[in-house]
Amino acid sequence: MNYGLQISASGVLTSMYRQDVLSNNLANMSTVGYKPDIPTTMQRDPARIEDDLGFMPSNSMIERLGAGVLSAPNRVSYAQGALETTDRPLDLAIEGDGFFVVRNDGPGAGGVQVRLTRDGRFSLDSSGQIVMTTTGLPLMDTRNQPITPPSAGPIGVAVDGTMMQDGEIFAQVQVADVPDRSVLKKEGAGLFAPSAAGVSSIFTIQGRVRQGSVEGAAVNEIDAMMQVTSASRAAQTNIGMITYHDRLMERAINTFGRSA
């Protein structure tokens, strides 16, 4: 196959993937606590290097061009989203670093039950525990225990996460983080699942908790739209190059492939 066509094809595939990822960010602009994905690419090694065919003859000048690009693992932007006031007493937002800690004991949780989230929409379930409104997973305190208010009265939450009812402290919301956020994997519903090795690295921090607010998506609408447009144009440009190489091959076959 034509070498230039292969490089152009790799550009089409990576550009279309970038467009999908960036469009998903745009679609989640209204998702509470959403952290956008950042698509990345890496240069693909020539086939002789990639397939460990060092004994095969090759052209060093062509090899320096590489073999196109491949999609690399997505990164996640943990930038702070704007805080939106809701005035609901069990809506909480973290200002700065950190995550709320919830526990998933469901059948699909695997060996790791701890989940981290920036989605601070909480409510009381039928048993009186404070849980995520979207998933029903219980919110953990600093002792890694579910939080159950002692009565049905109003709940106050201080900046350090201390929960009070009738003037008495009954729990403190756990705000935690990890040294290396690459151990976190998006799980959907605003949840981040740490790897089995990453669970032991989770540590409690003094995050600033804001009651009656939630954190909006950390997506810039204008920037996201421009990135989607850029990815679309890159895909179209590479498709144009594929058409160009196809015409060159057709001309070469029709011109040099004729019988004398």
What do you get for the CA distance between the two ends of the chain, in Å? 25
Note whether 32 and 121 are within 8 A (CB).
yes
Between helices 221-256 and 3-27, what is the axis angle to 10°?
A: 160
Q: Which of 254, 75, 53 lies closest to 180 in space, CA to CA?
A: 75
Note whether 114 and 100 are within 8 A (CB).
no
Instruction: Quote the CA–CA distance of 29 and 191 in Å, as a whole number.
Output: 16
Non-local CB neighbours of 32 within 8 Å, separated by 6+ positions: 118, 119, 120, 121, 190, 214, 215, 216, 217
**Tens-binned pLDDT, residue by residue, of the chain (260 aa):** 566 777 888 888 889 999 999 999 999 999 999 999 999 888 777 766 666 666 666 666 666 666 678 888 899 999 999 999 999 999 999 999 999 999 987 655 555 589 999 999 999 999 999 999 999 999 999 999 999 999 888 999 999 999 999 889 999 999 999 999 989 999 889 999 988 877 888 898 887 999 999 999 999 989 999 999 998 998 888 888 888 888 888 887 888 766 55
Instruction: Quote the CA–CA distance of 210 and 198 in Å, as a whole number.
Output: 27
Altogether, the residues listed in the chain come to a count of 260
pLDDT given at position 250: 82
For the entire predicted model, the pTM comes to 0.81
Note whether 93 and 208 are within 8 A (CB).
no
CA distances from 152 to 110, 165, 171 (A): 34, 9, 15
pLDDT given at position 158: 94
Alpha helix positions (H), the chain = 3-27, 47-50, 60-63, 221-256
Amino acid at 170: F
pLDDT given at position 132: 96
pLDDT given at position 48: 66
Instruction: Quote the CA–CA distance of 131 and 139 in Å, as a whole number.
Output: 5
CA distances from 86 to 47, 93, 228 (A): 56, 10, 31
pLDDT given at position 211: 95
